[in-house]
């Protein structure tokens, strides 16, 4: 049984992430989406919101689980009995960040391999930071995040205080 972990902040999950999730879930018996809980980082969406958004869009994928984690990725891999880390690549800039991180993980645990999936055409420019920027100007995240999540994500935008109440929309 091959288990892979797809770690990230997912603040919020985008169509680019979702594309990687669908493709990786077809390659492994089990895919665990690891939602980073980093107390020194400030997120727009809370841990609960980031986990719930991912659960909402992966609910019909039988081999996909969503878990929050903190600490070292290699320790989380060991805890979950996973030996592959999946990451997405959009650009050479991503590669510059990814390679040293994978090298450190490899030094910490030779059991863990990192595998990169290249962004699908059309998603290379999609990022969580672009979504947060768009929201900060009061514009909709439509076309950037899974359709189902648009009302909730837009609820976090400038001048819209209804985001919290809309959490019920996606948690079921």
Residue ranges in contact with ligand ADP by CB under 6 A: 8-10, 14, 16-17, 20, 87-88, 90, 94, 119, 123, 126-128
How near is the Cβ of 129 to ligand ADP at its closest, in Å? 7
Tell me, yes or no, if 87 is annotated catalytic: no
How near is the Cβ of 66 to ligand ADP at its closest, in Å? 13
| Nearer CB in complex with ligand ADP: 65/127 | 127
How near is the Cβ of 111 to ligand ADP at its closest, in Å? 20
Tell me, yes or no, if 2 is annotated catalytic: no
Catalytic residue among 25, 50, 128, 166: 128
| Nearer CB in complex with ligand ADP: 45/152 | 45
Task: Tokens 């603040």: give the residue.
Answer: 11
| Nearer CB in complex with ligand ADP: 11/159 | 11
How near is the Cβ of 134 to ligand ADP at its closest, in Å? 14
Tell me, yes or no, if 91 is annotated catalytic: no
Tell me, yes or no, if 128 is annotated catalytic: yes
| Nearer CB in complex with ligand ADP: 14/25 | 14
Q: Whole-angstrom Cα distance, residue 57 to residue 148?
A: 8
Task: Tokens 């909730």: give the residue.
Answer: 152
**Residues with catalytic annotation?**
17, 41, 90, 128
């Amino acid at each position: 049984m091959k288990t892979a972990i797809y770690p990230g902040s997912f603040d919020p999950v985008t169509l680019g992430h979702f594309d990687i999730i669908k493709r990786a879930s077809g390659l492994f018996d089990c895919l665990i989406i690891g939602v980073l809980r980093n107390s020194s980082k400030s997120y727009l969406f809370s841990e609960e919101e980031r986990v719930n958004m991912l659960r909402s869009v992966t609910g019909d994928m039988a081999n996909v689980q969503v878990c929050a984690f903190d600490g070292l990725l290699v320790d989380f891999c060991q805890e979950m009995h996973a030996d592959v880390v999946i990451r997405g690549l959009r650009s050479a800039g991503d590669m510059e960040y990814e390679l040293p991180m994978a090298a450190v993980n490899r030094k910490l645990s030779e059991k863990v391999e990192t595998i990169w999936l290249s962004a699908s055409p059309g998603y290379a420019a999609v990022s969580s930071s672009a979504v947060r920027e768009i929201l900060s100007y009061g514009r909709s995240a439509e076309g950037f995040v899974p359709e189902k999540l648009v009302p909730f994500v837009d609820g976090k935008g400038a001048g819209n205080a209804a985001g919290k109440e809309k959490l019920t929309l996606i948690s079921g």
